[in-house]
Amino acid sequence: HTRVRGSRVSLAHMRVFRSVSIYDLCVVFQYGIVLDAGPSRTTLFIYQWSASKENNTGVISEHSSCAVQGPGISSYSGSPGEAGNSLKPCLGQAMKEIPKEQHDQTPVYLGVTAGMRLLNLTSPTVSDTLIAAVTATLKSYPFDFQGAEILSSQNEGVFGWVTVNYLLENFIKYGWIGRWSRSRKGTVGVMTIGGASTQITFKIKERSADPENEVTLRLYGQEHRVYTHHFLCSGTDQLRKKLLLKAIQVSAACSCASWLLQTYHVKCLKL
């Protein structure tokens, strides 16, 4: 997760900060559901948008969110069925908040990030079973299922970059006259530190020497060439595990159990 001006930003988390207008009261919104499944937690977001677009790109606002109780999906490797069950309370909330007549028109999508990428490297069968479990749960609801998958590191980085710059109104901005207009501000680079990985993503002017990590986007009538790089095993949870392992190795060498406890406690608080 990242923070921008006090607001928590998650995968595909796009929120527009503006007052409600007469247009908002009259327009019929469409809805979409995104489940951001990180290494340590999952959050369900409900988004809404109108049929109109700005330069062939939709303007999306967040309707509401729901924090799934329990750990991240990858933590259910010993009981895959519980991974799907953990989503049910938040999906039930979505059933209530989205008009019933629009349920079958509401796309739902779940994206899992670095925690599952790690699990997929070590235990691909287990990760496949977990994806199958959450897929079965999502398909049991009347929404339009669009997929449940492990996001590539490239997509994760690009989604984060788009989200942050969208929130900062670096693509378009909502003016005082009640209309959207192209922003004159430049974009910013984004570093996202998650539980299992760290991503750094920024806009570039020329082609990079590493084309596999380069993506070209067209948003609101403008083209953006973006470079993203992924550092797996460099998230906060993984760094804590590395620190603990190092502490255990040093402790075993000097047989200092008290040193282990003190060092781990102090250094974890600094991370």
- What is the three-class DSSP state of 30? strand
The pLDDT tens digits of the residues spanning 40-66 come to 899 999 999 987 776 677 788 899 999
Q: Are strands 2-4 and 7-9 parallel, antiparallel or unpaired?
A: antiparallel
Residues 6+ apart with CB under 8 A from 53: 59
Residue 12 assigned to a binding site: no
The pLDDT tens digits of the residues spanning 79-92 come to 999 999 999 999 99
pLDDT at position 13: 43
Residues 6+ apart with CB under 8 A from 150: 111, 112, 113, 116, 117, 120, 127, 131
The pLDDT tens digits of the residues spanning 154-179 come to 888 898 899 899 889 888 876 666 67
Mean pLDDT of the region 131-148:
97
Enzyme catalytic residues:
156
Residue 198 assigned to a binding site: yes
Residue 195 assigned to a binding site: yes
pLDDT at position 251: 65
Residue 6 assigned to a binding site: no
What confidence category does residue 27 fall into, taking pLDDT thresholds of 50, 70 and 90? low
Residue 163 assigned to a binding site: no
> Domains in the chain and their CATH numbers?
2-154 (3.30.420.40), 236-270 (no CATH)
Regarding pTM above 0.85, the answer is no
